[in-house]
Amino acid sequence: MSDGSRLLTINQVATPLVTVAALTALCYFAAPILVPIVTAATLTYILWPGVATLKKLKIPHVMAVIIVMLLAIVALTAIGMLIYSEAVAFSNNLPTYWGQLQQLRIEHAKDLPKIFDFLGQDSGGTLLNGIDVTKLSAIPKFFFKGVGTVLSFLGQAILVILLTLFMLFEQPGFRKRIVKSLGSDNVSATTNIISQVSAQIAGYLWVRFVITVGLAIVFSIGLLIGGINYPYVWGPLAALLSLVPYAGAYIGAVPPMIMAYVQHSSILPSVWVFVFFMAVQFVESNIIVPKMLGRQLNINLLAQLISTIYWGWLWGAIGIVLAVPITAALKVVCDHVEALHPIGILLSGDDN
């Protein structure tokens, strides 16, 4: 056989495929266990800079962890109660808004005939009337996927808090124990992998956390000033959806646009909401993110999109939020395991 025509061995093809299949099965069936652990690990990365700052002020490690955890719990509880109260109010008024939306559709059908013709429906009536608003309550099941029923959410939240607390307690010595557990022959390689994974995930999560919180605040304030109902629901929702590559920024603008249309019975307020969202997203995507993150993760955009779909399917909304950092961690591991090099190459953002 001439040079350049070497055939691939079955192991070169089968090993990555079997690894992906095994990982998928594990993450899917073990979601009730893995989701709280991964969520707690994410919170640990986000909260650790606060602990490290307090330790620099000569505060003992245990006390620093307790202070940071208490502040985080108080902040999350306050924000969660605000969002929850608005979400409940919106849920209670949803049938009323839906009726108003259908009435506006009838009134404005003559002004927008081409849109309804494009949808292939008779004045849009079949399309909207075919949607049962009572079935929209199934949407929250997607967001709670992997953490059990809504009734068990409080218990899962307590579990996540406890896991985060103990992870913060054990953080200083945890890396050393992982290295030792893999044997003295692999100390250098293991240390390198852990250092890269930790640095990339910690940097990405912290920056992404700051950007997401900033977007939630800006969106909420903008909608509040614009007089759009439930700004504390649409703002955080749009900020979370911005984590989805490409489509997230546009999807996040749709609910407040519909709310503006229903409130004011005019398309113009919806246009202004769209312009506001796109302006904020443009600044975030083209100025803030490149400056703060740069090429830190080195994952191509297609891989980010596919990983978002993949982890969203496995773990719901939590999977979407954590898709990129999980994929970054897996890429580092694949880069250091010879049999998994093909996966690392497919995920890489380098063209060379």
Q: What does 62-87 look like in DSSP terms, one character per residue?
A: HHHHHHHHHHHHHHHHHHHHHHHHHH
- Residue 139's pLDDT is what? 52
pTM of the predicted model, to two decimals? Answer: 0.72
Residue that has been written with the tokens 């009435």 in this structure? 103
- Residue 147's pLDDT is what? 46
Residue 151 is which amino acid?
L
Give, in order, the Cα–Cα distances in Å from 166 to each of 44, 62, 68. Answer: 9, 10, 13
Cα of 183 vs its chain's centroid, Å: 35
- Residue 68's pLDDT is what? 94
Residue 164's closest CA among 51, 67, 75, 36?
A: 36
Q: Which residues of the chain have pLDDT under 70?
A: 1-9, 11-12, 105, 107-153, 175-193, 196-197, 293-297, 349-352
CA angle 295, 298, 304 (to 5 degrees): 110
- Residue 64's pLDDT is what? 92
Give, in order, the Cα–Cα distances in Å from 177 to each of 68, 183, 201. Answer: 24, 10, 19
- Residue 148's pLDDT is what? 47
Residue 292 · residue 207 · CB < 8 Å: yes
- Distance between CA atoms of 231 and 217, rounded to whole angstroms? 10
- Residue 217's pLDDT is what? 93
Q: What is the pLDDT of residues 316-337, one digit of tens each?
A: 878 888 888 888 778 877 877 7
The residue extents of the domains of the chain are 33-132+143-181
- Distance between CA atoms of 161 and 58, rounded to whole angstroms? 25
Query: Where are the alpha helices (H) located in 265-316, listed in sequence order?
Result: 268-283, 289-293, 301-315
Q: How many other CB atoms are found less than 10 A from the CB of residue 172?
A: 11
Query: Where are the alpha helices (H) located in the chain, listed in sequence order?
Result: 10-29, 31-56, 61-108, 113-119, 125-129, 139-143, 153-181, 187-225, 231-241, 248-264, 268-283, 289-293, 301-315, 317-336, 341-347
Residue 162's closest CA among 295, 255, 65?
A: 65
